[in-house]
């Protein structure tokens, strides 16, 4: 069995156990959730794993959702002295073949700005991810304002899009 076949089988099997998974061609979005920092906040974020199970590189180029006036791909960049700056990711997020990109708190994430529909616990948000080759992947993301951050997942690099660790 090839690595690609194993990766697809694992991702599909994991997707069956998760409340949300999105798939188009070779792109798999799993373990997604959205949250706000406090009730009524004008901003929120979504986090997930994005896997390229294909043989060719792809790139996440944009995200959209009706829940907010503006939706962007964001990251945090260390400015030194413990100061982190949140900024839009310029040029999208590359996804090499067989790679999984973690969208986590304190790292890359989907940012909702000017929230027009409250992100209430137990609700759902529809998010469209647009990829350079795979096209649009529409995912229904559960709102989980109670979910704790997975600090082990934060050990990832930002070199793919020009930022530094």
Dump pLDDT digits (tens) for 118-127: 999 999 999 9
CA torsion 38→69→125→43, rounded to 10°?
Answer: -20
Q: How far apart are CA 80 and CA 154, in angstroms?
A: 18
Distance of CA 100 to the CA centre of its chain: 11
User: What is the average pLDDT score of the chain?
Assistant: 81
Instruction: Show the tokens assigned to 99.
Output: 């790679």
Dump pLDDT digits (tens) for 88-119: 999 999 999 999 999 999 899 999 999 998 99
Separation in Å, CA 12 to CA 98, 142, 151: 14, 19, 25
Instruction: Show the tokens assigned to 133.
Output: 């080759």
- Residue 18: Cβ-neighbour burial (10 angstroms; 0-12, 13-18, 19+): middle
Pick the more confident residue, 77 or 119.
Answer: 119
Q: Helical H runs in 18-146?
A: none
CB 54 within 8 A of CB 125: no
Mean pLDDT within 132-157: 78
Q: What is the pLDDT of residue 59?
A: 97
Instruction: Give me the domains of the chain, ranges plus CATH numbers.
Output: 3-145 (2.60.40.1890)
Pick the more confident residue, 18 or 9.
Answer: 9
How many residues are present in the chain? 165
């Amino acid at each position: 069995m090839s690595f690609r076949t194993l990766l697809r089988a694992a991702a599909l099997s994991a997707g069956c156990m998760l409340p949300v998974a999105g798939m188009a061609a070779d792109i798999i979005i799993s373990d997604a959730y959205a949250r706000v920092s406090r009730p009524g906040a004008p901003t929120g974020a979504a986090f997930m794993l994005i896997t390229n199970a294909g043989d060719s590189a792809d790139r996440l180029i944009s995200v959209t959702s009706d829940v907010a006036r503006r939706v962007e791909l964001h990251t945090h960049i260390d400015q030194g002295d413990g100061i982190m700056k949140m900024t839009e990711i310029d040029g999208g997020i590359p996804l090499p073949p067989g790679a999984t990109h973690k969208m986590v708190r304190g790292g890359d994430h989907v940012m909702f700005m000017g929230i027009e529909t409250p992100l209430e616990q137990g609700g759902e948000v529809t998010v469209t991810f647009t990829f350079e080759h795979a096209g649009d992947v529409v995912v229904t993301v559960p709102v989980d304002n109670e979910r704790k951050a997975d600090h082990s997942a934060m050990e990832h690099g930002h070199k793919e899009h020009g930022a530094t660790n």
